[in-house]
Amino acid sequence: MRWTGLALSCAALGAVTVLSIAVGAQAIPLGEVWQQLWNPTGGESAAIVHDLRVPRTLLGLCVGAALGLAGALMQGLTRNPLADPGLLGVNSGASLAVVGSIVFFDVTDMRSWVWFSMAGAAAAAAAVYVLGTTGRGAAGPARLVLAGAAVSAALLSAVEAMLTLDAGAFDRWRFWDVGALAGRDAAVVAEIAPFVVVGAVLALGLGRGLNAIALGEQAGQGLGVNLARVRLGGAAAIMLLCGAATAAAGPIGFIGLMAPHAVRAFTGPDNRWVLAYSAVLAPVLLLTADVVGRVVVRPGELESGIVTAFVGAPVLIYLLRRRRAVRL
């Protein structure tokens, strides 16, 4: 049954991928889109399909899969059902690095921002892991959550300080910060794809370890699982996945929160299946949000980060009402 559901999820992903290429702010007949996709004849339609919609769709697939896997990993590692990829300070670290590249190095090329953002995300994730796993007492999910909140607050304060001092940097940074798939070319996709692939392979191999963590510290150790290794591998995967996704598309919220909760309704608590389904259904959610953003305010567009916030906020409220006290 789970394999059937996964096959249907892949079919849904294929359908929304086609929809993302076929539908846009500028209406182009489906037959013409198909012709320009496989037999381009030049002109405005060919440029829209090949230079805008195809890279945008590929980026949505990469970013969606990365955020879905990262969200499932974080919820499994922290045993916190409300955890999302921003919890470990990754988004804040990426934002600080991007702002720093603008203010101190006058970097304006988005492809260069990818590398700065990856470095900032990696540094923030490493800081959170060190703070959450060292010192007196055993490392636990509560310490990781608190460390992530502290690091995020400190980094965001630094971001606001730099933007206050440099108005020009704010004008350039705000277009990245809203979270969007638009305006990115194929070169950005090519730069983040290796990080997403490595992070996905690492994440999908941690399903058994996450199931052991869900049973508790003593039970997990009794099953012969090295919990420290699982946490370290999970942190590395989150760093790669969130760092790449945030670098390319900006901090898109709620995808990593919604996707794992959506799939648990028919996969159950087994993290091996939650990870696999999240990698497929999170891109479905993101590309659907992106398509909706293209058509609701034609001829303009709503950025996908705004659409996911509109949808994700009610989901978060529902989860909070259902779980008044989150067990860490």
Model confidence pLDDT, tens digit, residues 107-129: 877 777 778 887 888 888 788 87
Would you say 192 and 210 are in contact if contact means Cβ atoms under 8 Å apart?
no
Which of these ranges, 148-157, 170-179, 285-294, has the smallest mean pLDDT? 170-179
pTM for this predicted structure: 0.87
- For 202-252, the pLDDT digits (tens) are 999 999 888 888 877 667 666 777 778 888 898 888 888 888 888 888 888
Question: What average pLDDT does this structure show over 153-164?
Answer: 88
In this structure, the chain runs to a length of: 328
Query: Is the model's pLDDT at 299 over the cut of 90?
Result: no
For domain 2-322, give the CATH superfamily.
Answer: ABC transporter involved in vitamin B12 uptake, BtuC (1.10.3470.10)
How far, in Å, CA of 163 to CA of 102, rounded? 10
Q: What pLDDT, on a 0 to 100 scale, did the predictor assign at position 29?
A: 80
Would you say 225 and 266 are in contact if contact means Cβ atoms under 8 Å apart?
no
Peptide bond into 299 cis (omega under 30): yes
195 vs 142, higher pLDDT: 195
Q: What pLDDT, on a 0 to 100 scale, did the predictor assign at position 142?
A: 65
- For 245-295, the pLDDT digits (tens) are 888 888 888 898 888 988 887 888 889 999 999 999 999 999 999 999 888
Residue 325 pLDDT class (50, 70, 90 cuts) = very low
Q: Distances from the Cα of 58 to the Cαs of 17, 53, 190, 280, in angstroms?
A: 9, 9, 10, 13
Which of these ranges, 10-19, 185-194, 270-279, has the smallest mean pLDDT? 185-194
Q: How many helices (H) and strands (E) does the chain have?
A: 15, 0
Query: Is the model's pLDDT at 303 over the cut of 80?
Result: yes
- For 14-137, list the strands marked E by DSSP: none
Q: What DSSP designation does 26 have? A: S
How far, in Å, CA of 216 to CA of 140, rounded? 10
Question: How high is the mean pLDDT of the chain?
Answer: 83
Residue type, 107: V
Q: Which residue has the tokens 């409300």?
A: 82
Would you say 304 and 180 are in contact if contact means Cβ atoms under 8 Å apart?
yes
How far, in Å, CA of 291 to CA of 256, rounded? 19
Question: What average pLDDT does this structure show over 33-57?
Answer: 83
What backbone phi and psi angles, to 5 degrees, belong to 184? -110, 135
